[in-house]
Amino acid sequence: MDNRPIGVFDSGLGGLTAVRELRRMMPSEDIIYFGDTSRVPYGSRSRETILKYARQDTRFLRGFDLKAILIACGTVSTTSLDTLKAENDIPMLGVVEPTCRRAVAMTKNKRVGLIATAASVRSGAYERTIRAFDPTIEVISRACPLFVPLVENGRFRPGDVVIETVAREYLGSLRGTGIDTLILGCTHYPLLMEVIGGVMGPDVTLINAGEESAWEMKRALRASDALADPGRAGEAAFYASDRVEDFEKLAGMFLQEDLRRSVNQIDIETY
């Protein structure tokens, strides 16, 4: 048993969809979340910039006595995970491997789609990971650069002509490829489940990276007997690197629960 908190970080607010899943699956765990809102989005940055930011995010979180870290940022997971694992002596879990494992398990026709930020797609990490599990699977990728700003501006609901139009354009060319499984490779995208499902139709299984990585965290903690005392009620604390007003306003949308504690602002560039 280990009552130390789980650290979670993301480039911004998207990782809160993983926090929601962690809290749903493991209500006894304490969670410390850092959203790097002063430097979001990571998706369009270079590999060097992303690694530098991820190291700073990790150093900030390691100021707490944590038992594990979930890197809820697809961009960091696809570009920097191996380096961060080598540099840290606690489990560092990304969103890519668990998501790919689930996609491999779900696909029947061995045609898997991937939507993510430009950097995640460019990295090729999802394809590499899936092919390491099963080299006969074909992965068809599409970058969706406008999904994050649209979600953060509240445009994720079915019926909104803006998100519907953008989603049809991004996903239209995926529809004709015969994929039966689609990875939502960015933690913002679970808010678009309904819109994406509407475009792709009921025959395509959507894989939510936040949910899969939360399952993976639970498995990892259970395997090392490091789950928290099931009798306790876990708490979540939130940190951001820019205006906490904006964070607080949007967090409820991602968490689908009210923030019980206020958000604290930190200067990430000093870490």
Q: Which residues are catalytic?
A: 73, 186
Count CA within 13 A, CB hemisphere, residue 158.
Answer: 7
* CA gap 187, 24 in Å, rounded: 16
| 243-262 binders of a copy of itself (CB under 8 A) | 243, 246
Is 39 near a copy of itself (CB under 8 A)? yes
User: Using the rule CB under 8 A, is 269 a contact of a copy of itself?
Assistant: yes
Nearer to a copy of itself, 214 or 268 (CB): 268
With vertex at residue 40, the alpha carbon angle to CA 36 and CA 45, rounded to the nearest 5 degrees, is: 120
Residue 227 DSSP class: P
In whole angstroms, how close is the CB of 39 to a copy of itself at the nearest point? 6
Q: Contact region for a copy of itself (CB under 8 A) — 18-26, 31-39, 64-72, 191-199?
A: 31-39
Alpha-carbon span 79 to 119, nearest angstrom: 8
Q: In this chain, which of 24, 25, 27, 46 binds a copy of itself, going by CB under 8 A? A: 46
Helix (H, G, I), strand (E, B) or coil at 160: coil
Binding flags for a copy of itself, 144-183, as an x/- string (CB under 8 A)? -xx--xx--x-x-----xx--xx-----------------
Cβ distance to a copy of itself smaller for residue 54 or 137: 54
Q: Which is nearer to a copy of itself, 149 or 172 (CB)?
A: 149
Is position 198 an interface residue for a copy of itself (rule: CB under 8 A)?
A: no
Could you say whether residue 3 binds a copy of itself (CB under 8 A)?
no
Taking the CA atoms of residue 161, residue 148, residue 234 and residue 80 in that order, the dihedral angle to the nearest 10 degrees is 150
Enumerate binding residues for a copy of itself (CB under 8 A): 37-39, 44-46, 49, 52, 145-146, 149-150, 153, 155, 161-162, 165-166, 242-243, 246, 265, 269
